[in-house]
Amino acid sequence: MDNVLTLLDQVKQRAMQEEIPTAEDLQQIANAPISHLVEAAHEVTIHKASQVFNFCAIVNAKSGRCSENCHWCAQSRHFEGQCEIYPLLEAKKIIEAALIAQRSGATRFSLVTSGRKLSRREVREAAEIVRELKKETSLEICLSAGLLTAEEFQLLAQAGVCRCHCNLETCENFFPHVCSSHTFTDKLKTIEAAHSAGLDICSGGIIGMGESRQNRIELALTLRKLKICSIPINILEPIKGTPLELIEPISEEEIIRTIALFRLANPKAYLRFAGGRRRLSDTATRLALRAGINSAIAGDLLTTKGTGIEKDKKLVESCGYQFETIA
């Protein structure tokens, strides 16, 4: 154990210098006592990551009938999961949701749409909606719209989108086990296209889909090499009717270890609490915040319930963070 703690200190010091750790080192330190692992990650968070917590709210802007077969998702037409089905929402409804989010304390707002990608017509419609959002709110506008092209991202960037969300979901080796209708490479090409249009990138994954700890470490390191600035960490919520509905939930301890490893691999990134966190105990949530979570998706998510932003704010503030505000 002394060797593991020595290596943990070395990895922590390298993180302070923004050096990328090896997968082998992260695998070894993952077995350290959880208190030591959390404190090492906390020290890196304090010195390298933002201490100003921000909330991003999302709107399910287009729902259901998705052509893709992502095994966790109720919106796929391949499975029996239940969800609402509707086309791209009109601007009025999206603006109403954005104004509610802004009043509650969110500083970012993301339009999330089902399907492999928006059509060219829908991209133009989304661009108009974004222009209206920029007129009516002070929010930073993000978009999660599938495997768009560089040209389509450029159009959306010109309209006012500042960040593209495109989750890698898991590491390259495990990805085919949970989705076969598109590839990990398709995801990487989308991120490259968004980046070429001048957009920031928000990309993370879902833990608890049956992947190994090594798979999660590989994802953390891929995100670091891509220089991702915002990393959502979702915890699988098994949904009835999907292929993962009966999977055994990942433990709270493994969730905390994962967050700590992601912080040591990504010292400066925003680690963003996302789906599934409502099942965590208060103690586990506080440990997650200490281990490196410094942002969150607030309110309800796409097909699952989230947590209330007021409750989140009280908990986050008690853990020592300040809140980002709209200028």
Averaged pLDDT, 225-242: 96
pLDDT digits (tens, 9 = 90+) for 251-271: 999 999 999 999 999 999 999
Instruction: Judge whether 207 and 253 are in contact, CB under 8 Å.
Output: no
Instruction: Judge whether 162 and 133 are in contact, CB under 8 Å.
Output: no
Q: For the whole model, what pTM was predicted? A: 0.95
Q: In the structure encoding, which two tokens stand for residue 252, read together?
A: 């709270």
Under the banding of pLDDT at 50, 70 and 90, the label for residue 15 is very high
3-state secondary structure of 183: coil
Average model confidence (pLDDT) for the chain? 94
pLDDT value at residue 304: 47
Averaged pLDDT, 157-171: 98
Under the banding of pLDDT at 50, 70 and 90, the label for residue 65 is confident
Instruction: Judge whether 123 and 166 are in contact, CB under 8 Å.
Output: no
Counting residues of the chain whose pLDDT is more than 70, the rounded percentage is: 97
Q: First vs last Cα of the chain: how many Å apart?
A: 49
CA dist 312 and 323 (Å) reads: 11
User: Is it the case that residue 320 has pLDDT exceeding 50?
Assistant: yes
User: Is it the case that residue 53 has pLDDT exceeding 70?
Assistant: yes
What is the crossing angle of helices 309-318 and 282-291, to 10°?
Answer: 60
pLDDT value at residue 306: 52
- Residue 210's nearest CA partner among 261, 176, 168 is 176
Owner of token pair 């993000």: 142
Instruction: Judge whether 243 and 272 are in contact, CB under 8 Å.
Output: no
Looking at residue 209, its amino acid is M
pLDDT digits (tens, 9 = 90+) for 206-219: 999 999 999 999 99
User: Is it the case that residue 302 has pLDDT exceeding 50?
Assistant: no
Q: What is the DSSP letter of 49?
A: S
Helix then strand count (H, E) for the chain reads 12, 10
- Domains of the chain, CATH where assigned: 34-323 (3.20.20.70)
Under the banding of pLDDT at 50, 70 and 90, the label for residue 10 is very high
CA–CA–CA angle 124, 130, 134 (5° rounding): 150
Query: What's phi and psi for 52, nearest 5 deg?
Result: -105, 110
